[in-house]
Chains A and B, each alone.
Chain A
Amino acid sequence: EVQLVESGGGLVQPGRSLRLSCAASGFTFDDYAMHWVRQAPGKGLEWVSGISWNSDSIAYADSVKGRFTISRDNAKNSLYLQMNSLRAEDTAFYYCAKVYCSTTSCFDAFDVWGQGTMVTVSS
């Protein structure tokens, strides 16, 4: 079964740091680009960051650029998000997501999502 399981969320004070992890199973992890997407309570989806299969290409949303760092360890089938200088507006469910590939091509879309991990930034 293809599965993504996030961990590392919790309650953190403004200005502090948190590291999220995403454990992948059921597919060849290093064949796929991976992304983080977040969703504030009662709000819509917001793309956060993405990383290519070999970490050569990395992108961030303007809202997190300079504060968040995405990385992956293909040997451990794991994706990470290091979040520094956290703000109240970073409070959200954080999902990791796998890029969708058909039999012939890969697309800028996400076909497998984890269950999410909640990050709450509050004093």
Chain B
Amino acid sequence: GENVEQHPSTLSVQEGDSAVIKCTYSDSASNYFPWYKQELGKRPQLIIDIRSNVGEKKDQRIAVTLNKTAKHFSLHITETQPEDSAVYFCGGSNRDDKIIFGKGTRLHILP
């Protein structure tokens, strides 16, 4: 089955700097890769996703890149703001309709 590894587990960046979170997956049949953000005490919410037929997708300050050959994908947040502080989860979904998540990255935005 699918296995998703996520790094780093904790990331601290100065406000205004960029943050990058990286994930790898094991199942070459996986074709959908979402990113969820979970603020403290809240439910996870989708912030961006990418399909396997696309190499990059951007939404304002957030972008995701996918390298199918290497089986890794990354989340990029530019011009970080205090409200970006949260836990971020990457996920992979294959034809079995299971979304398997990584262990999460706790992002701290430092003033």
- Whether both chains belong to one complex is answered with no
